[in-house]
Amino acid sequence: MSEYTLEGMEGGLEDPGSLWPELPELEEESAAYGWVWSAMTPAERRAKMRELAEWVQWLRTTFELHNQIPQCWYRHPPVREHLTALYAGWVRTYCQPAPGRDLAEAEWLSTLHGFLPRLQVASCANGTHHEAPPRPAVRPEAQEEFEDYLTVSEFGTAESAHPAEAEALRQATDI
């Protein structure tokens, strides 16, 4: 009999969750530190960067993004992080089953286009890498000023008040 008939759904009526396909076991890498560069060992970081670089080259070629993603993208931590996020999302979208996400690929493409302004580095647009300007030094008193702000400002001391309290309560009772 067909797997789509009642006879093919043994136990499915009592446990609808049993009708979903089994998902593959997640690799240990995709656990807590999957693509957190600073959490990788140097050897792992080099291997993952090579993997990412190969995908970025494919991305630049396939989507004609040579003018949006500089060749030196890997030297710019914010661009590297955005491309890492795009790659992780691409792998989840195109390489793993996504039940119930009929437009997953279109959503990923939309996300890519939303990221494009963040992938550009104006100073490197001509193909020559230029270092980002140095970051300002952290002032020693900054943390103390932050704590003072939390202690005495209206933000840190105001009574709680939800702007849509009635709706929040309705939704909480519907759950």
Is residue 34 packed enough to be buried (19+ CB in 10 Å), middle (13-18) or exposed (0-12)?
middle
Domain limits at 98?
49-127
In a domain, 16, yes or no: no
The whole-angstrom separation of Cα 59 and Cα 164 is 43
For residue 24, is it within any domain? no
**pLDDT for the residue numbered 55:** 96
Total domains present in the chain: 1
Query: Measured in Å, how far apart are the chain's first and last C-alpha atoms?
Result: 38
Does any domain span residue 107? yes
Residue 114 lies in a domain: yes
Location of structure tokens 């030094």: 137
The DSSP secondary-structure symbol of 96 reads S
pLDDT at residue 59 in the model:
96
Residue 69 in any domain: the answer is yes
Helix (H) or strand (E) holding 19: none
Check residue 51 and give its pLDDT. Answer: 96
Domain assignment of residue 111, yes or no = yes
CA distance 175 to 172: 6
Alpha-carbon span 61 to 48, nearest angstrom: 20
3-state percent helix, strand, coil for the chain, nearest multiple of 5: 55, 0, 45
What's the rounded Cα separation, in Å, for the pair 27 and 34? 9
Per-residue pLDDT of the chain (175 residues), as tens digits, is 444 444 544 554 565 555 544 544 444 444 456 799 999 999 999 999 999 999 999 999 999 999 999 999 999 999 999 999 999 999 989 888 767 778 889 999 999 999 999 999 888 888 888 888 888 888 989 999 989 998 999 888 888 878 888 888 888 887 6
31 lies in a domain? Answer: no
Is there a domain that residue 27 lies in? no
What is the chain's length? 175
